[in-house]
């Protein structure tokens, strides 16, 4: 048949009966939302670089590695909160001046009173910490206990995130 199609003298004959039957067929319109259902099943792969990023992200939080990720997040949040508190304590005067300049017309006496109390409290805490003499072993024990608590809390969160295991159902189903 391919030889006939490549032959320049070959012509396709029209079939009037077939043309009439095809023309008489009813034209169907797709049902409402047909395109949405069909296109919803079409899988379009993500770019290769995005697939790699997703795979690394999934590998980071998969079984056995999730608690490291959660522990890192816990540690980062604890460090950042400590750094913010330390910056506020060390720069209490600058914070007070900044807030005073920004909120001059809105509740200034209230803000000054609250900042005065906060600055005085921060100063008293600093004096209290400075007056206590602590040995290196106590500081080491306190640091170790903080790390232990962070790891334990992260492990507890990890265990809570695990799906429930139905060992009894598997055992009964195998009988």
Domain ranges, ordered by start, for the chain: 66-162
- 69 contact partners, CB below 8 Å, separation of at least 6: 60, 61
Mean pLDDT of 72-93: 82
Flag whether pLDDT at 167 surpasses 60: no
| Count of CB atoms situated within 10 Å of the CB of 43 | 4
For the segment 108-163, what is each residue's pLDDT rounded down to a tens digit?
677 788 888 889 888 888 787 777 776 777 778 888 888 898 889 888 888 877 77
For the segment 95-104, what is each residue's pLDDT rounded down to a tens digit?
777 766 666 6
State the first-to-last Cα distance of the chain, in angstroms, to the nearest integer. Answer: 63
How far is Cα 76 from Cα 83, in angstroms, rounded to an integer? 10
Flag whether pLDDT at 169 surpasses 80: no
Give the pLDDT score at 143.
81
Give the pLDDT score at 2.
56
How far is Cα 162 from Cα 175, in angstroms, rounded to an integer? 27
How far is Cα 109 from Cα 100, in angstroms, rounded to an integer? 10
Flag whether pLDDT at 9 surpasses 70: no
Flag whether pLDDT at 36 surpasses 70: yes
* pLDDT confidence bin for 172, thresholds 50/70/90: very low
Give the pLDDT score at 34.
80
130 token code pair = 């400075």
| Burial 69-96, CB ≥16 within 10 A → b, else e | ebbeebeeeeeeeeeeeeeebeebeebb
Q: What is the mean pLDDT of the chain?
A: 76
How far is Cα 110 from Cα 93, in angstroms, rounded to an integer? 17
């Amino acid at each position: 048949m391919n030889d006939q199609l490549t032959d320049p003298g070959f012509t396709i004959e029209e079939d009037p009966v077939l043309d009439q039957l095809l023309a008489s067929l009813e034209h169907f319109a797709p049902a409402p939302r047909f395109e949405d259902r069909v296109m919803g099943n079409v899988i379009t792969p993500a770019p290769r670089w995005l697939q790699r990023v997703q795979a690394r992200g999934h590998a980071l939080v998969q079984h056995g590695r999730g608690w490291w990720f959660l522990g890192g997040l816990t540690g980062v949040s604890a460090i950042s909160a400590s750094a913010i508190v330390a910056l506020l304590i060390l720069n209490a005067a600058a914070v007070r001046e900044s807030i005073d300049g920004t909120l001059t017309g809105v509740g200034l006496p209230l803000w000054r009173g609250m900042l005065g109390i906060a600055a005085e409290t921060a100063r008293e805490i600093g004096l209290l910490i400075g007056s206590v003499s602590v040995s290196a072993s106590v500081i080491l024990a306190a640091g170790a206990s903080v790390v232990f608590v962070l790891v334990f809390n992260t492990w507890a969160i990890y265990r809570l995130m695990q799906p429930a295991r139905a060992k009894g159902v598997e055992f009964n189903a195998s009988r």
